[in-house]
A and B are shown apart, each in its own frame.
Chain A
Amino acid sequence: QVQLVESGGGVVRPGGSLRLSCAASGFTFSSYAMHWVRQAPGKGLEWVAVMSYHGIHKYYADSVEGRLAISRDNSKNTVYLEVNRLIPEDTAVYYCARDSLGGDPKWFWFDLWGQGTPVTVFS
Protein backbone atom coordinates (compact mmCIF):
# COMPACT_ATOMS: atom_id res chain seq x y z
CA GLN A 1 0.00 0.00 0.00
CA VAL A 2 1.38 3.37 -1.06
CA GLN A 3 1.38 5.56 2.02
CA LEU A 4 3.17 7.98 4.29
CA VAL A 5 2.82 7.77 8.07
CA GLU A 6 4.05 10.58 10.32
CA SER A 7 4.88 10.30 13.98
CA GLY A 8 6.75 12.12 16.71
CA GLY A 9 4.49 15.08 17.39
CA GLY A 10 3.53 16.17 20.88
CA VAL A 11 3.29 18.96 23.41
CA VAL A 12 6.51 20.86 23.95
CA ARG A 13 7.48 23.92 25.93
CA PRO A 14 8.83 26.98 24.11
CA GLY A 15 12.51 26.57 23.40
CA GLY A 16 12.25 22.81 23.21
CA SER A 17 12.87 20.45 20.31
CA LEU A 18 11.08 17.63 18.55
CA ARG A 19 12.02 15.11 15.90
CA LEU A 20 9.24 14.19 13.53
CA SER A 21 9.38 11.06 11.38
CA CYS A 22 7.63 10.08 8.19
CA ALA A 23 7.73 6.43 7.16
CA ALA A 24 7.06 5.63 3.53
CA SER A 25 5.86 2.38 2.01
CA GLY A 26 4.63 1.02 -1.29
CA PHE A 27 6.91 2.99 -3.60
CA THR A 28 10.60 3.54 -4.32
CA PHE A 29 11.26 6.09 -1.60
CA SER A 30 14.85 6.75 -2.70
CA SER A 31 13.64 8.09 -6.05
CA TYR A 32 11.61 11.01 -4.68
CA ALA A 33 12.25 14.33 -3.02
CA MET A 34 10.26 14.59 0.20
CA HIS A 35 8.66 17.68 1.71
CA TRP A 36 7.28 18.80 5.03
CA VAL A 37 4.21 21.04 5.02
CA ARG A 38 2.45 22.35 8.11
CA GLN A 39 -0.96 23.76 8.95
CA ALA A 40 -1.42 25.97 11.99
CA PRO A 41 -4.85 26.04 13.64
CA GLY A 42 -7.30 27.98 11.50
CA LYS A 43 -4.66 28.70 8.85
CA GLY A 44 -3.76 27.41 5.42
CA LEU A 45 -1.01 25.02 4.48
CA GLU A 46 2.57 26.26 4.66
CA TRP A 47 5.51 24.58 2.98
CA VAL A 48 8.53 24.42 5.32
CA ALA A 49 11.23 22.07 4.01
CA VAL A 50 12.31 19.61 1.32
CA MET A 51 15.16 17.17 0.85
CA SER A 52 16.28 15.80 -2.49
CA TYR A 53 15.97 12.11 -3.28
CA HIS A 54 19.64 11.39 -2.52
CA GLY A 55 19.77 13.62 0.57
CA ILE A 56 22.31 16.05 -0.85
CA HIS A 57 20.13 19.12 -1.34
CA LYS A 58 17.83 20.64 1.25
CA TYR A 59 15.76 23.80 1.17
CA TYR A 60 13.79 25.63 3.84
CA ALA A 61 11.13 28.31 4.01
CA ASP A 62 12.49 31.66 5.16
CA SER A 63 10.07 31.63 8.10
CA VAL A 64 11.80 28.62 9.67
CA GLU A 65 15.36 28.95 8.39
CA GLY A 66 17.88 27.99 11.02
CA ARG A 67 15.45 26.23 13.34
CA LEU A 68 14.46 23.25 11.21
CA ALA A 69 16.62 20.42 9.98
CA ILE A 70 15.40 17.90 7.44
CA SER A 71 17.13 14.57 6.91
CA ARG A 72 16.36 11.16 5.46
CA ASP A 73 17.44 7.56 5.68
CA ASN A 74 16.73 5.80 2.41
CA SER A 75 17.60 2.43 3.97
CA LYS A 76 14.67 2.93 6.35
CA ASN A 77 12.37 4.69 3.85
CA THR A 78 12.02 7.52 6.33
CA VAL A 79 12.33 11.29 6.24
CA TYR A 80 12.78 13.32 9.41
CA LEU A 81 12.19 16.89 10.51
CA GLU A 82 13.93 18.21 13.58
CA VAL A 83 12.29 21.35 14.92
CA ASN A 84 14.44 23.33 17.36
CA ARG A 85 13.96 26.39 19.57
CA LEU A 86 10.22 25.91 19.26
CA ILE A 87 7.98 28.94 19.49
CA PRO A 88 4.17 29.11 19.85
CA GLU A 89 3.88 29.94 16.14
CA ASP A 90 5.24 26.46 15.36
CA THR A 91 2.03 24.93 16.71
CA ALA A 92 0.60 23.06 13.74
CA VAL A 93 -0.11 19.70 12.19
CA TYR A 94 2.99 18.66 10.28
CA TYR A 95 2.53 16.66 7.08
CA CYS A 96 5.09 14.95 4.93
CA ALA A 97 4.40 14.94 1.22
CA ARG A 98 5.97 13.38 -1.85
CA ASP A 99 7.30 15.61 -4.61
CA SER A 100 5.40 15.41 -7.85
CA LEU A 101 8.05 13.78 -9.97
CA GLY A 102 11.10 11.74 -9.18
CA GLY A 103 14.54 13.23 -8.75
CA ASP A 104 15.38 16.63 -7.34
CA PRO A 105 12.71 18.87 -5.74
CA LYS A 106 10.37 20.56 -8.18
CA TRP A 107 7.56 21.88 -5.95
CA PHE A 108 5.16 21.48 -8.93
CA TRP A 109 2.59 19.52 -6.92
CA PHE A 110 2.49 17.00 -4.09
CA ASP A 111 0.98 13.68 -5.10
CA LEU A 112 1.03 11.77 -1.82
CA TRP A 113 0.51 13.00 1.73
CA GLY A 114 0.49 11.53 5.19
CA GLN A 115 -2.24 12.11 7.77
CA GLY A 116 -0.04 14.45 9.78
CA THR A 117 1.37 14.63 13.29
CA PRO A 118 0.36 17.47 15.63
CA VAL A 119 2.84 19.69 17.41
CA THR A 120 1.72 21.99 20.21
CA VAL A 121 4.08 24.53 21.74
CA PHE A 122 2.60 25.35 25.10
CA SER A 123 3.98 26.85 28.23
Chain B
Amino acid sequence: QSALTQPASMSASPGQSITISCTGTSSDVGTYNLVSWYQHHPGKAPKLIIYEVSNRPSGVSNRFSGSKSGNTASLTISGLQAEDEADYHCCSYAGSINYVVFGGGTKLTVL
Protein backbone atom coordinates (compact mmCIF):
# COMPACT_ATOMS: atom_id res chain seq x y z
CA GLN B 1 0.00 0.00 0.00
CA SER B 2 1.42 3.35 -1.07
CA ALA B 3 1.95 6.11 1.45
CA LEU B 4 0.05 8.68 -0.64
CA THR B 5 -3.47 7.94 -1.85
CA GLN B 6 -4.48 8.58 -5.44
CA PRO B 7 -7.50 7.38 -7.40
CA ALA B 8 -6.51 4.28 -9.34
CA SER B 9 -8.10 5.49 -12.56
CA MET B 10 -9.88 8.46 -14.07
CA SER B 11 -11.27 9.24 -17.48
CA ALA B 12 -12.41 12.30 -19.37
CA SER B 13 -13.04 13.49 -22.90
CA PRO B 14 -10.71 15.60 -25.03
CA GLY B 15 -11.00 19.27 -24.22
CA GLN B 16 -12.27 18.69 -20.70
CA SER B 17 -10.38 19.33 -17.48
CA ILE B 18 -9.59 16.80 -14.83
CA THR B 19 -8.17 17.00 -11.30
CA ILE B 20 -6.21 14.15 -9.74
CA SER B 21 -5.97 14.16 -5.95
CA CYS B 22 -3.09 12.94 -3.82
CA THR B 23 -3.74 12.57 -0.11
CA GLY B 24 -0.96 12.21 2.40
CA THR B 25 -0.51 13.09 6.05
CA SER B 26 0.84 15.87 8.22
CA SER B 27 4.22 14.11 8.02
CA ASP B 28 4.59 14.65 4.30
CA VAL B 29 2.17 16.57 2.07
CA GLY B 30 0.78 18.59 4.96
CA THR B 31 4.16 19.81 6.18
CA TYR B 32 6.33 20.24 3.12
CA ASN B 33 5.68 22.27 -0.03
CA LEU B 34 7.69 19.64 -1.88
CA VAL B 35 5.04 17.77 -3.80
CA SER B 36 5.95 16.70 -7.30
CA TRP B 37 4.03 15.03 -10.10
CA TYR B 38 5.25 12.69 -12.82
CA GLN B 39 3.69 11.73 -16.13
CA HIS B 40 4.51 8.19 -17.21
CA HIS B 41 3.70 6.66 -20.54
CA PRO B 42 4.21 2.87 -20.17
CA GLY B 43 7.58 1.76 -21.43
CA LYS B 44 8.95 5.30 -21.38
CA ALA B 45 10.85 7.31 -18.81
CA PRO B 46 8.68 9.08 -16.20
CA LYS B 47 8.65 12.84 -16.75
CA LEU B 48 8.59 15.53 -14.08
CA ILE B 49 5.65 17.86 -14.78
CA ILE B 50 5.17 19.66 -11.45
CA TYR B 51 7.58 20.37 -8.57
CA GLU B 52 7.28 22.31 -5.33
CA VAL B 53 3.48 21.87 -5.47
CA SER B 54 2.81 24.18 -8.40
CA ASN B 55 5.96 24.89 -10.40
CA ARG B 56 6.32 23.64 -13.95
CA PRO B 57 9.71 22.71 -15.41
CA SER B 58 10.71 24.44 -18.59
CA GLY B 59 8.95 22.91 -21.58
CA VAL B 60 5.96 21.51 -19.69
CA SER B 61 2.62 22.70 -21.01
CA ASN B 62 0.75 25.29 -18.94
CA ARG B 63 -2.26 22.98 -19.23
CA PHE B 64 -0.73 21.22 -16.21
CA SER B 65 -1.12 22.92 -12.85
CA GLY B 66 -0.68 21.88 -9.24
CA SER B 67 -2.03 22.96 -5.89
CA LYS B 68 -2.23 21.85 -2.28
CA SER B 69 -4.65 22.22 0.59
CA GLY B 70 -3.81 20.68 3.92
CA ASN B 71 -2.75 17.07 3.44
CA THR B 72 -4.05 16.84 -0.12
CA ALA B 73 -2.27 17.88 -3.28
CA SER B 74 -3.92 18.10 -6.67
CA LEU B 75 -2.89 18.00 -10.31
CA THR B 76 -5.21 19.64 -12.80
CA ILE B 77 -4.95 19.02 -16.51
CA SER B 78 -6.98 21.40 -18.64
CA GLY B 79 -7.91 21.05 -22.30
CA LEU B 80 -7.24 17.32 -22.26
CA GLN B 81 -5.51 15.90 -25.31
CA ALA B 82 -5.06 12.34 -26.46
CA GLU B 83 -1.34 12.45 -25.58
CA ASP B 84 -2.23 13.17 -21.95
CA GLU B 85 -3.36 9.57 -21.60
CA ALA B 86 -0.76 8.16 -19.19
CA ASP B 87 -0.12 7.21 -15.59
CA TYR B 88 0.34 10.09 -13.15
CA HIS B 89 2.30 9.69 -9.92
CA CYS B 90 2.45 12.11 -7.03
CA CYS B 91 5.39 12.32 -4.67
CA SER B 92 6.18 14.19 -1.48
CA TYR B 93 9.28 14.81 0.57
CA ALA B 94 8.76 13.17 3.94
CA GLY B 95 11.59 14.38 6.12
CA SER B 96 14.97 13.08 7.19
CA ILE B 97 13.73 9.63 8.30
CA ASN B 98 11.35 8.49 5.57
CA TYR B 99 12.88 10.75 2.90
CA VAL B 100 10.23 10.50 0.18
CA VAL B 101 6.86 8.87 -0.46
CA PHE B 102 4.91 8.18 -3.62
CA GLY B 103 1.29 7.65 -4.49
CA GLY B 104 -0.07 4.51 -6.10
CA GLY B 105 -0.45 6.22 -9.45
CA THR B 106 -3.54 7.24 -11.43
CA LYS B 107 -4.22 5.83 -14.87
CA LEU B 108 -5.77 8.60 -16.95
CA THR B 109 -7.82 7.60 -19.97
CA VAL B 110 -8.75 10.22 -22.53
CA LEU B 111 -11.93 8.90 -24.12
With A108-B34, A108-B93, A115-B43 given, is the CB distance from A45 to B48 under 8 Å? no
Q: Using A43-B2, A44-B105, A109-B52 as known contacts, say yes or no to A95 and B46 having CB atoms under 8 A apart.
A: yes
In this complex, the interface size class of chain B, counting residues with CB under 8 Å from chain A, is: 20 to 34
Residues from 56 to 111 in B contacting A, C-beta threshold 8 Å: 57, 89, 91, 93-94, 99-105
The reply to whether B46 and A111 contact each other, CB–CB distance below 8 Å, is: no
The residue among A45, A61, A107, A113 with the most chain B CB atoms within 10 A of its own CB is A45
Chain B neighbourhood of A108, CB < 8 A: 34, 36, 51-52, 93
The interface residues of chain A lying within 8 Å CB-to-CB of B99 are 47, 50, 59, 61, 105, 107
Interface membership of A100, Cβ < 8 A: yes
Taking the closest CB of chain A, its distance from the CB of B22, in whole angstroms, is 11
CA distance A61 to B98 in the complex (A): 8
> Does B45 contact A47, Cβ atoms closer than 8 Å?
no
Query: Which residues of A sit under 8 angstroms from B103, Cβ to Cβ?
Result: 44
Interface residues in A21-47 by Cβ distance below 8 A to B read 37, 43-47
Contact, CB under 8 Å: B2 / A111: no
Which residues of B have CB within 8 Å of A111?
Answer: 48, 51, 57
Q: Are B36 and A46 in contact, CB atoms less than 8 angstroms apart? A: no
Q: Do A95 and B45 touch (CB < 8 A)?
A: yes
Give the nearest-CB partner of B5 in chain A: A44
B104, A113: Cβ atoms under 8 Å? no
By the criterion CB–CB under 8 Å, are B45 and A45 in contact?
no
Minimum CB–CB distance from A106 to chain B (whole Å) comes to: 8
CB neighbours of B43 from chain A (8 A)? 115
User: In the complex, which residue of chain A has the Cβ closest to the Cβ of B6?
Assistant: A44
User: Which residues of A pack against B, CB within 8 Å?
Assistant: 3-4, 37, 43-47, 50, 59, 61, 95, 97, 100, 105-116
Those 6 A-B pairs whose CB atoms lie nearest each other, nearest first: A109-B36, A44-B104, A44-B2, A45-B102, A109-B51, A107-B100
Besides the known contacts A45-B105, A107-B99, A108-B93, 14 further A-B residue pairs in the complex with CB atoms under 8 A apart: A37-B102, A44-B6, A44-B102, A44-B104, A95-B45, A106-B93, A108-B36, A108-B51, A109-B48, A110-B38, A113-B48, A114-B45, A115-B43, A116-B45
